[in-house]
Amino acid sequence: MAGFAVLTLVGCKNKKEMQNPFFGQWNTPYEIPDFAAIKTEHYMPAFNEAIKQQKAEIDSIVNNPDEPTFENTILAYEYSGQLLKKVGGVFFNLSECENSDEMEAIAEEVSPMLAAHADDIALNAKLFTRVKAVYDQRESLGLNPEQMRLLEETYKGFVRGGANVPEDQQARFRQINSQLASLTLRFAQNVLKATNAYSKELPDGKKVTLDMPTWEPFMQTCADRKLREEVWHAFTDRCREGEFDNTKVIDSIVNLRLERANILGYMTHADYVLDDCLAKTPDAVYKCLNQIWTPALKKAMQERDEYQRMLSADEPGAKLQPWDWRYYSEKLRAERYAIDDNEVRPYFSLDSVREGAFAVAHKLYGLNFKENPQLPTYDKEARAFEVYDGDSLIGILYMDFHPRASKRSGAWMTEFRGQHRDRDGRNVLPIIQVVCNFTSPTADKPSLLNFDESETLFHEFGHALHGLLSNCTYPSIAGTNVPRDFVELPSQVMENWCRHPEVMKTYAKHYKTGETIPDALIAKIAAAQTYGQGFINTELLAASLLDMDYYTIATQQHIDPLTFEEQAMARIGLIPEIISRYRSPYFQHIFTTGYDAGYYSYTWTAILDADAFEAFRESGDLFNPELAAKFRHLLESGNTVDPMTLYVQFRGHEPSVTPLLRNRGLVSK
């Protein structure tokens, strides 16, 4: 492989500063990013050069004297900006799990730059004229289905990006995008800082923080009601006021997104977002959510009454509060099913669960995962795996599982590089990353997961498979670049294998003895699957409906998120003992990470995943080769085919909500 190119950069003071590892091929196995060579001072010169290069590439397309063609316009645009994708793929992924003051400063500087650059492209009238010229003659070009899909998606992307915005509104459109880039970044940084700012020393010498792996077990097991209340408020009151206040940020984000949608010709931001999704309209989303809300709320009320009786026995006259819910839920779970996390965790060591996920992928798709400690990593806790389909290497998978102060909370899948074929037809291997925040191992004990965390690992691994199995030509429609209300299907369907007793027995082994999980404990876990589903579904649906309420606002107005949320929850009849899964000031999904007017997709695709797994159940074989091959085709296809068409090809019909309601115990079986 070629060594790093050395470019002369404005502002460089010495030869060392002139050597930037982003310029040239990575001199590493599989051209993995050279993490060890990358320093924070390399990012801004690389971003500046990358923007400069793509501008030159766009100018070349625009100034081409030849008539616009699929090759000289659509493909030329599709493959432009390679350096920008390379730099951004590293920076934005590491800023999520290796953050620092320096990285935050770079993000604050580069985010509006990138927003402006994207607008320069989307609002380039001459470029859009060429794209539209190709699009208008699409039926006569003899394109294959994947080429046609790329052309249609490219044209649609320009329209949604503002190509038809009147000239007298373009300056404001650009300003909105720049402001949104800065505001969403500030929101995320506030949440991270507020989360890291709290730590509570406990009487037993341990410490509770606001990271879910420590916060939730504390709330489930702490018998001290006043202490539960304090820690609950620390978690749920984040970013409501003070140094990390996000309330004014939310007001600005919601109104700016509405204004941008209006400029683009949509009544609301939700109308704009959903026009590019399977749901299509806000009404369809509300209909989907409400058909589950009513039975979920009914079950939640039954759960509340049970927990109130338990609290009354402990503290006569006390009224159940949100900080009591997890404690009594866990207590009743232990009583009713004679099961608690301390009984479950020893059988679900992190390594065993991970190997279980790998085994499912092997049985379904023939994949093998080989850890290679020689591959470059960005942190000592990140583990690298080569992924093989038979003897063929198809991708690299990084897995990073434990909390760090530099890492945001939650779990996610992303990519340093997506699968595609380059202009010469060479297949480019995907480099996929799975990040979680599971309890760290100790000197005498490995990381032990509860069952929810085990499902989380399978979930994110399902996203990873979507990226790893991608077999597409064009990067913008490959892998997970699908509508948001489809992207959760590959992840959520994997949870079904995680929880199935037949599969569980293959991977759930006691970390000390190696004993397979007993049938009796499997039965308890299975019986407990519908336990607490009133709460689980209600808090999820409440968050989804809150998201939709923000983004179906149709007129500019001052928004006090605390009041808005309170009114939204009252409108749907949410009982006061439960709150939305995320309160507005730390609801990152809808204000930073791309699920605005899209949080419903977890429920929408839950209907898909329950219906999809039902096909395997009906066949009598959880690893039915014919069905696995059909589902693999769905995963391989990215966005090269309409997603619902792919689903119907797999299932034979459109999805039914019945399996979901039955699996969650919301209707009689």
**Residues designated catalytic:** 460
In angstroms, what CA-CA distances link 564 with 15, 529, 537, 559, 636?
Answer: 56, 33, 21, 7, 42
Q: What is the CA radius of gyration of the chain?
A: 25
In angstroms, what CA-CA distances link 63 with 59, 66, 73, 127?
Answer: 6, 9, 11, 9
Cβ burial 284-315 (10 Å sphere, 16+ → b, else e): bbbebbeebbebbbebbeebbeebbebbeeee
Position 632, amino acid: R
Measured from the Cβ of residue 136, the count of other Cβ atoms closer than 10 Å reads 11
Position 491, amino acid: S
Output the six-digit token pair for 416: 């340093």
Query: Strand 420-421 relative to strand 199-201: parallel, antiparallel, unpaired?
Result: unpaired
- Residue 473 buriedness (CB in 10 A; 0-12 / 13-18 / 19+): buried
The residues, any chain, with a CB within 8 Å of residue 189's CB and separated by 6 or more, are 104, 107
d(CA 522, CA 272): 45
* CA angle at 539 for the pair 538 and 540, rounded to the nearest 5°: 90
d(CA 351, CA 399): 11
Contact between 565 and 576 (Cβ < 8 Å): no
In terms of Cα–Cα distance, which of 365, 310, 408, 268 is closest to 636?
Answer: 365
Task: State phi, psi for 230 to the nearest 5 degrees.
Answer: -60, -45
Strand partners, 371: 385
**Count of all residues that appear for the chain in the document:** 669
d(CA 520, CA 501): 11
Q: How many CA atoms lie within 13 A of 37 on its CB side?
A: 18
Contact between 635 and 480 (Cβ < 8 Å): no
Strand partners, 144: none
Task: State phi, psi for 427 to the nearest 5 degrees.
Answer: -70, 130
d(CA 187, CA 535): 27
DSSP 562-587: HHHHHHHHHHHT--TT---SS-GGG-
Contact between 353 and 511 (Cβ < 8 Å): no
Query: Strand 420-421 relative to strand 427-428: parallel, antiparallel, unpaired?
Result: antiparallel
Measured from the Cβ of residue 484, the count of other Cβ atoms closer than 10 Å reads 23
| Location of structure tokens 């490219």 | 154
DSSP 646-658: HHHHHHSS---SH
Task: State phi, psi for 301 to the nearest 5 degrees.
Answer: -65, -35
Output 137-140 pairs: Cβ under 8 A, ≥24 positions apart.
none
The residues, any chain, with a CB within 8 Å of residue 593's CB and separated by 6 or more, are 188, 412
d(CA 595, CA 607): 18
Contact between 416 and 32 (Cβ < 8 Å): yes
In terms of Cα–Cα distance, which of 587, 499, 27, 504 is closest to 253?
Answer: 587
